[in-house]
Structure 1
């Protein structure tokens, strides 16, 4: 079949009185013009021109292509121009999925400011901590916190995020501070059930090796803001993401515990849907996120 370049070639040739004139306008040799014209005719299975002396005479099929070809080429040019404009001006529909707590505090303001800076774009933000349930949903960018098994999508680290064992000074004044992970069995622990993880198995590591502690929660919830509030009220010990409690620790409202024992990081990652990875708006928002998270805003609180 012929392509748009073949149609452009023929339209130029058809607008000239002779083959030689067409060759001069195309800046190629007459033999190259003849060869390409024959190739186009072979692909179509019909003749487009006949030669009468030195003149080019269009056949009925050639006249049809000369008549209907220009709007086809114009439509293609307009389509390419629109697509290039979309890439440079950032237009279209962008769908973002993010965890509720992190989404409210960090992603929602960025989505709003990105939309204001790119009036040609429309952004939908959905908050959910059940990424696995949304793999068949239509989204362009998904933000996730913590370990994620390979799900066959493009993934990149957006920001580092430690997990911290901590409690309020009022709780520590009444119950004391644990000195080893094993001491947690005698403390009021508050569990956060999210991302379908085992919320009562707390894992630590140190120079002596890995330690796992099964805690019996005094209180448990699936809402990160609630478990943080319980801890601030002095109701128990929590394991919480750095992004959520960094300001509380800097202000002294929460105190980090067992600092000689590390808890596995829960880095912030971003996933890109396969169809969205080529869109200019997707890449622009990824760049916007990366700039906003470098350095992570929760690590600039004590500077």
Structure 2
């Protein structure tokens, strides 16, 4: 049952301007391909996760940095439009806003290059998270900042160690949850020591591992017309943490998160249009 008041999730992470090119096939090294069209949008794993959490729960808080430039102002407006609290996003006058160049093919697969810009300066003073119930972190910001924020925070800490890099031992022991895809899990052997890991398996669904042992799995939901996989993992992560903080156990959270991820894959946007968490919980409960 949901708590009397809506819990607050704080997201410490990246905010990027996404430039997406839609192509038939992603280019091989040295190859040039023509795109059907290009789009400009809000991106960055942190921003994607904040937008998803805000839609699922009604609000979330973003902690990060953008440049003191027109792109930064546009990105803040986009974040706020999802219901995200942007009061803890800093405008940096020494670095430009982060930029990601994304290729998406006709099957919805993607290839991404990122220039971090202001994301490389992100820190999280404890005052930015003191009233939050959960803290979501990923690795598109300095790893020292991510580790320090986790150690300072007193609530539920969830980590998406992407892009993959070795996870500091203090973070392995402090985090209550890690969320990774299968390739990331196999590339991070230290996750076998983590108390709770949710592993996404693409078309094969997802599974929970506790101290390296698979304890539960959930099937994927069929998507008739996949549009974009860019935001699926971030939506899954936000849904899992949202379900946990309102009182669901990890097995229930896993089932809800695979349903939310399917909804994300069916939407072309990096911040897919999502419903409220309780709607997805109801669908899982009814078996629909």
Identify the TM-score tier after normalising by the shorter chain.
Answer: under 0.3
* TM-score normalised by length of structure 2: 0.23
Larger radius of gyration: 1
Pick 1 or 2: higher relative contact order, CA cutoff 8 A, min separation 6: 1
TM-score by length of structure 1 reads 0.22
